[in-house]
């Protein structure tokens, strides 16, 4: 089983699954989830850990080498280290990582590290308390910083900081974030806002090209060829090579030609592209008695639906679902 690895009709190898374990979050970041949103999946429809283990076992046999636990906020899912242990035990899985807002990380960092999570990405859009309150909807900066330092103490390496750059909101704080990450030896990744749902379309998009030039001059950055985790970021490094800054540019310089990922939502829906509607419901198959061979065939059929690229630039109103509904 799984002798032929997953490849889409455009010749891209698909070896990375972003696995959402909940669509709930304790923050309401302005570009991700609207205030007052209540359209969450019912817990009875969430995949159980056993269902996730079975499904990801099939993906790994089909060549998946990287899995990232996402949400919503994945640390709101109870007993997440238990799931991490199940996944790291899958033969062939090489990398298990976690995306988090870090508000809960202080409580779980040691257990997650012991369970086999290798590295973490932390969403942090500003080091200014008032700005973070504006972006996240609550006074979140100190809990995030506390969680971040707990993650560092627990031995996660690397730790990447994801900062969505927004004109007129946090664009004046990028240099401060870069200096902080260089000092702490975190990897800063600057991200262009994408028009996902009404929240994303209102996120004050700004292209990162000028920011890259500014940071290169300020911090003496040089282009870096090394891949850091198989994602879409293009990196520059400090002259001493000790720190890196990545730029994720889905709008100004998209990376669709090398896309190697799919997203699995908390109810088992496989999304083939953030910026398109193609999806495939695997949850009903898991609960309807399908064999592993039937699920494998369904996954292969779903990968054939993966589009060549997103339409964020030409059709910014196309995607009405929010980021947290897809899985980050």
**108 Cβ contact list (under 8 Å, min separation 6):** 75, 80, 81
pTM of the model: 0.91
Residue 259 in marked binding region? yes
200-236 burial: b if 16+ Cβ within 10 Å, else e: bbebebbebeebbeebeeebebeebeeebbbbbbbbb
3-state DSSP assignment of residue 301: helix
Residue 235 in marked binding region? no
pLDDT, tens digit only, all 328 positions of the chain: 445 689 999 999 999 999 999 999 999 988 887 777 777 899 999 999 999 999 999 999 999 999 999 999 999 999 999 999 999 999 999 999 999 999 999 999 999 999 999 999 999 999 999 999 999 999 999 999 999 999 999 999 999 999 999 999 999 999 999 999 999 999 999 999 876 444 444 557 889 999 999 999 999 999 986 666 666 789 999 999 889 999 998 777 666 888 999 999 999 999 998 777 889 999 999 999 999 999 999 999 999 999 887 655 555 554 554 555 666 5
Residue 25 in marked binding region? yes
Residue 72 in marked binding region? yes
Cis peptide before 158 (omega within 30 of 0): yes
Residue 262 in marked binding region? yes
Cα 283 from Cα 248, distance rounded (Å): 31
Residue 28 in marked binding region? no
């Amino acid at each position: 089983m799984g002798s032929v690895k997953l490849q889409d009709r455009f010749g891209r190898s698909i070896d990375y699954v972003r696995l959402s374990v909940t669509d709930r979050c304790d923050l309401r970041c302005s570009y991700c989830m609207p205030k007052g949103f209540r359209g969450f999946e019912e817990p009875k429809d969430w995949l159980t850990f056993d269902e996730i283990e079975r499904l990801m076992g099939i993906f790994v046999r089909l060549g998946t080498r990287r899995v990232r636990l996402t949400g919503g906020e994945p640390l709101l899912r109870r007993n997440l280290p238990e799931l991490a242990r199940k996944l790291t035990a899958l033969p062939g899985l090489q990398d298990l990582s976690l995306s988090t807002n870090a508000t809960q990380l202080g409580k779980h960092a040691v257990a997650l590290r012991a369970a086999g999570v290798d590295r973490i990405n932390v969403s942090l859009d500003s080091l200014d308390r008032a700005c973070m309150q504006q972006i996240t909807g609550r006074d979140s900066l100190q809990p995030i910083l506390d969680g971040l330092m707990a993650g560092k103490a627990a031995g996660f390496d690397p730790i990447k900081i994801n900062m969505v750059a927004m004109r007129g909101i946090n664009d004046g704080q990028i240099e401060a974030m870069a200096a902080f990450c260089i000092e702490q030896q975190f990897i800063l990744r600057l991200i262009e806002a994408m028009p996902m749902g009404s929240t994303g379309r209102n996120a004050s998009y700004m292209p990162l090209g000028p920011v890259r030039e500014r940071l290169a001059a300020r911090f003496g950055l040089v282009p870096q060829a090394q891949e850091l985790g198989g994602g879409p970021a293009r990196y520059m490094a400090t002259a001493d090579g000790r720190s890196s800054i990545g730029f994720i540019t889905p709008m100004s310089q998209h990376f669709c030609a090398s896309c190697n990922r799919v997203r699995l939502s908390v109810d088992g829906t496989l999304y083939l592209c953030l910026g398109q509607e193609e999806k495939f419901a695997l949850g009903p198959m898991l609960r309807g008695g399908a064999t592993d061979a039937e699920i494998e065939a369904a996954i292969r059929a779903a990968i054939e639906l993966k589009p060549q690229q997103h339409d964020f630039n030409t059709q910014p109103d196309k995607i009405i679902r929010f980021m947290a509904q897809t899985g980050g």
